[in-house]
Structures are given as C-alpha cells and as structure tokens.
Amino acid sequence: MVNRMPTQGQDSTGDRPEPGLYALTSREREVLDALAELGYAKGVARRLGISTRTVEAHLANARAKLGVETTVQAVLIFRESQLTGQAAPEPPESQDARQRSEATRSAALALRRRLRLALAAFAVSALVIVGFWGAFRAMLTGGGSNPSTKISVGPPGMPGDDSSVWMAYSSDHGGNYDIFRMNLDGTGVTNLTNHPANDGSPAVSPDGSKITFASDLSGTHQIFVMNSDGTDVKRLTFNEASDFNPTWSPDGRKIAFFSNRDSHPGEIYVMNADGSGQRNLTNNNYNDDHPDWSPDGSMIVFYSYRPDLGDLEQEIYVMNADGTGQKRLTHSPGLDWLPAWSPDGTRIAFASDRDGNEEIYVMNADGSDQTRLTHSDRTDRACDWTPDGLKILFESVRDGFCSVYMMNLDGSHQTNLTASGARASNEGSPSLPQVAPVDR
C-alpha cells in the first residue's frame, strides 16, 4: 500500500480523487509518465529535452503536491490515477462530479492494488537493469529533494599551500554514502561516519572543528553535526520532512539549510548552531535550495525556480541574511545552480548547462561578467573555492565516475584530486568537499 499524507479534501480511505493530482502541471505529468515508463531520471531528461536536475525539480514539486516522501510513491499514485480516471487535466466542476458508485470504487481499488504490485516490480527491475540505483536511492530514502552536491569553504590555510588544506566529502565507495575526510594531496582518507545510513552535504565549520551534514539515520534526511574527526554526532533537526544542504555562517553561530517542511516544495531555513531557533527565510511556494553565506555574513546566495517570475529553469538568487531583498542574479535559458561565494566576497562560482552541457561558471557578486571556466563533454558541477581564493574545486564525471577536480581561476590546470581511488559520490547523488586547514 502506498503510504501518503492525506491532502486537503481527501478522506482517510483514499477513495476520493486527491486535489494534489489536479494541481500537477502538464510538465510534471509528462515527467511522471515518462519516469514510469523509463525507470530513470536521465532517460526522462533525454526524452523531454530538459536537464536531469530540472527533472528532479519537477519530481520534488510533484512529491510535495501529492503529499508523499518518495518518487516511486508519486509515480504509483499518478499512474493508478490515469487508469482509474482519477486525475483529469482540470479540476472537476463539483464535488458530485468526483463521486463514484460503490461498484466503480471497488473495481478501482482492486485495480489499484494490482497496479501497485506491477509497478513496484517494474520499478525495481528497471532500476537494476539500467544501473541507476545510486541516483534513485536518494529518491527512495530521502523524499523532498535529492541531496545535491555541495562544496563550501572552511577556515583559511597557508596561502598557496594546498597541502595545508583538507576536505570533507560524501562517497558511496563502501556501498552506502558516508562522510569522508581527505587532504588535498590525496592522503589521509578517513571514513568519518561509517554506518549503514546515507550521509551527504558535509559542511566544515569556519574554525574547522565541526562538520554538519545531512543523514537518513533517523529515517528521513535530517541535519546532524559532529566533531571534524567524526566523534560526538548530534542531531539538530527533528521533523517528518527532509532537511539537506547545511552551511555555516561565517561566525559559526548559525546554520542555513534546505527543508521541505510545512508543505512547501523547498525553502531556505536558518537555525542556531545547536539546532534551536529554526525559522523560514525564503517563505514562499517556490523550490529554494543550496544556500551559501557571503564572507561578511550579510547575505545568502541560493538557487530557485520561480516560473511565474519568468524563470525557465533554476536561477541564482541572493538575499539578505534575514530573508529580505531577494534578487535574481542569473537570467539564462539553462539551469543555473549550486552557487559558492568566493572568500573575498567579490565573485560567485556556480554550475550551469546554458551552453548545452553542465559546466562551471563564475560571475561578479552582482551577477555581472558571467564567464565559463570548464569545457568538458561530461557533467561538471558543485564548485567551491580554496580558502586562499586562488583555486576552485568542482565535481566532474568526465572520468566515468564522480571525482573532485581543482583548477586555477581562469579554468586552467584542471587536476583530479580523487584519482587515487578515493572517489566521491556518484552523479546526481549526495555531496562533495568542503575544505579546511589540515590538523598537524
């Protein structure tokens, strides 16, 4: 039986059509329909001519509207509604128009049970055949949003000395996602979490003593914090929704993060470093994600999808640290996301597929002078700056699996930091490095 939260206007038996079905946009219906047939997000992206991340954003919106935690649940509900005639393109004229006879209702319920079994078997077999279990695991266990790749800067090391910096990253090298620590020269690889749960989105505190991260250790993804050696793990958020992508304020006193609580597709929240005082900063009905503080702590950059304001894809936005003054920085027909502020506060690096492939770009903090840095035929994303601001780290799948690269600010001398085998997370799955000084 598909577990889902009753939506407004639905009785507890689930017999009546759900208003959430009628709230689905035509594109969300196309995505769900194609996903049910193909079984993996990349195939949907190719068929519909959109990016994989856009597919994931539509799926996140569909999950929120249908009141479910996983994409498989959303697909099952949508497909069964198609066969039972439950989800007409437009809302019914009246409550009477949505009522069925007892005979029709019983037949629909029987069909629903058979369909769930058939689609569940199809979903599992398709995932195994195509080999995209890694990408779907976050959907199945996390809910609200795939935990996106994330990189941000810790405290400065010795300028120009990469050996004085370490990074925290997420990898499924052991079968499930754990938080690892590694020096930028590839040495000192250490599994910090090492438990059966899936951990991602690590963020090193400004003084390098703590790492906050997202984990499904408690069921849904929540925000946790631990010492930088993996000890003293504490849970910071407690809700039935999903919380991802934490990031520290420059003074280390607050943590901003993504959450889809309160029936929203996704918002930027902030809390004190001990988990107290949680409040919504963006407070709208859009999908806002991946916050990053400016070095002076006065502003937060993030990405958002706001179609009624003219957004064709996710765009980069900035706001004051209290959530006011939200302003769009990018205006491209492609996907712009995963922003990271430079240590001196003058520039923002981000990922975009505006030129046909997802690459790393950089722009001034006011959105001007947007420049492409990477030119790969595979996905490059999840950028961050070294603490001295002289280089940029990013995630790439150009070698066939997800790796962490580092390059100069002009895009030259791109070097694979994880080539020795300490590979990072698979494409489309949780997290990448945050950097901090090496403890010596």
- Label residue 308 exposed, middle or buried (CB < 10 Å: 0-12, 13-18, 19+): exposed
Q: What is the CATH number of domain 162-437?
A: 2.120.10.30
Closest Cα to residue 171, out of 213, 124, 232? 213
* Angle formed at CA 297 by CA 199 and CA 417, multiple of 5 degrees: 45
Closest CA to 147 of 68, 27, 252, 246: 246
pLDDT tens, per residue, the chain with 440 residues: 333 333 333 333 333 334 467 677 777 888 887 777 666 676 676 667 676 667 888 888 888 878 777 777 787 777 667 655 554 343 443 344 444 444 444 444 444 444 444 444 444 343 333 333 233 333 332 333 333 345 444 455 555 555 567 888 887 777 788 888 888 777 888 899 988 889 989 999 999 899 999 999 888 899 999 999 999 999 999 998 999 999 999 999 999 999 999 877 899 999 999 999 999 999 998 999 999 999 999 999 999 999 888 888 899 999 999 999 999 999 998 899 999 999 999 999 999 999 988 999 999 999 999 999 999 988 898 888 988 899 999 988 888 777 889 999 999 999 988 775 555 543 333 344 555 544 33
H helix and E strand count, the chain: 7, 24
Helix (H) or strand (E) holding 43, with range, is helix 41-48
Q: How many CB atoms lie within 10 A of CB 413?
A: 9
Nearest Cα neighbor of 396 from 412, 375, 371 is 375
Written out in words, the top-level CATH class of the domain with range 19-131 is mainly alpha
Residue spans of the domains in the chain: they are 19-131, 162-437
Nearest to 337 by CA among 322, 349, 355, 324: 349
Tell me which residue has tokens 């002009």. Answer: 410
DSSP letters for 5-42: PPPTT--TT--SPPHHHHH--HHHHHHHHHHHHH-SHH
CA distance 410 to 167: 22
247's tokens: 């990031």
d(CA 244, CA 193): 17
Segments of 205-298 assigned E as strands = 210-215, 222-227, 234-235, 243-248, 254-259, 267-272, 279-280, 287-293
Element (H, E) at 115: helix 102-130
User: What's the DSSP call for residue 259?
Assistant: E
Q: What is the pLDDT at residue 97? A: 40
Return the bridge partners of 392, or none. 385, 407
